[in-house]
A and B are shown apart, each in its own frame.
Chain A
Amino acid sequence: MREKGVEKLEGCEIRTEYEVFEVFVQKTQADPHIHVGSVVAPSPDMALVTARENFLRREQAVNIWIVPRDEVHATPYDDPDWFAREFDRKYREVGGYSENGRLWKRYRERAMHLEDIVRDLNGTPAGNSGKRDGGKGS
């Protein structure tokens, strides 16, 4: 797909075609780079500038990647087998263990979730759990 970029027109005029670069933007250093679209540019440097002007006129970011489109290797869209899910994969997911809540009830406790741990680590005032920890849970 890479355009050679130069061809003759009307005998003397030289035409210019830029290369396509895919653009990936990283919003904060805690985020991954996310594909936002593409630009055409004559060089990687110009692609970075064009990407900033096209995709970051408002949003904040800390980093941009541009990748020549030819260097992107992708799975086909028209081959659903690539992403086949032959089996039920509930066992890999949080939602596959929803019975824990019911089981814990027998012991007058509740299931623990990642969100609770993060919240408590961040010192956010705890809601129900706080009340319970100081009360009958002990």
Chain B
Amino acid sequence: MNHDERHDRFMERLERGEKIEATDWMPDEYRRLLLKLIHMHAVSEIMGAFPEKEWVPKAPTLKRKLAIMAKVQDEMGHGQLLLRVAEDLAAPLGKTREDLIDDLIEGRVKFHNVFHMGSPTWADAGVIGWLVDGAAIINQAALLDTSYGPYARVLKRICAEESFHMQHGENIILALAGGTKEQKRMLQEAVNRWWEPLIFFFGPVEVTPAAQRMIDYKIRTKTNEELRQQFFNKYIPRIRSLGLTIPDPDLRCDEKEGKWIFTEPDWKKFGEIVRFNRGPKSQERIGLRRFAHEEQRWVREALVRSREKQPV
């Protein structure tokens, strides 16, 4: 079978709604698009733990501390599950887990813009759970019917846990929204900080060639803008119901077109933050990740060597 025939047969499988497995033949382009997406997803989960872990020692009550610790643990767990999926895709390209992590600490793989930002107050911890996780769930739920089986299976588990994150975040912000004047002000300021990064999070309005290829390959089925509009539909009424103001004076719903009109974020600024790790917290957090990876290298080596010495 020549390459074109294989490719046709592969596309027919996708058309029939079949899932692709790690051991199946797949076009190189499909593998690379998937790897890029899942690698970024994986390292974003890991880097997503950082803005929140900063609040573990400072959480206001023991219950809040336990809950946010559980969340940080989940994010790392999701990172591990996703790295497993990425690793199997990367293996034929000669890349390993170490390489995937090296890519992160050397700045060769991007992670989501939201995790480059600071989380200066407890309200930020709440808003991350409420709105950032809310946005992430919309993204991830839209990927549940992805054509790549191993990714679909891992996403199912991740989405189940993300729904806890959503409740957790809502619980924090509901407490603040019903609290003192000072707490309400803190919440409003956090929403002000997160709104623009959240709009950027969903990506460019136009369908880029790479995004179109992902849709062709049924890796994803929805466009960035469809997902962003979903987010608006779900969250704008809720944000407003709490008496909070959304920091976009031009935000309105176009009833005729059935969509939200919004002020576009500073694409260039956030693009550079993500591409060059130039956000307010990028270097600090990557530095922590690098420290963990390098300082614990001897442990990983020792574990591997100790097994080599045992009769297996």
Contact = CB atoms under 8 A, between A and B. Distances in A.
Interface stretch (A39-47, A88-96, A113-121): A39-47
Contacts of A43: 303, 306-307
B30 to A, nearest CB: 15
Interface in A10-28: 14-18, 20
Contact of B153 (A3, A15, A37): A37
A17 B98 contact: yes
Interface residues of B, number: 27
A54 B81 contact: yes
B283 interface: no
B91 A42 contact: no
Given A39-B80, A57-B70, A78 B24 contact: yes
Contact of B304 (A1, A18, A50, A55): A18
Contacts of B73: 53, 57
A16 B21 contact: no
Contacts of A3: 96
A18 B97 contact: yes
Contacts of A50: 80
Contact of B24 (A5, A16, A77): A77
A46 B303 CA distance: 9
Contact of A5 (B153, B154, B157, B304): B304
Contact of B87 (A40, A54, A78): A40
B77 A54 contact: yes
Most chain B beta carbons < 10 A, residue from A1, A37, A46, A50: A37
Interface in B87-106: 87, 91, 96-98
B74 interface: yes
B220 interface: no
Which 7 residue pairs of A and B lie closest in terms of their CB atoms, listed nearest first? A42-B303, A16-B300, A43-B307, A42-B304, A16-B304, A5-B304, A16-B301
24 contacts: A3-B96, A6-B304, A14-B301, A15-B98, A16-B303, A16-B304, A17-B98, A18-B300, A37-B81, A37-B153, A37-B154, A39-B80, A39-B84, A40-B84, A40-B97, A42-B300, A42-B306, A42-B307, A53-B77, A57-B70, A57-B73, A58-B161, A77-B21, A77-B24
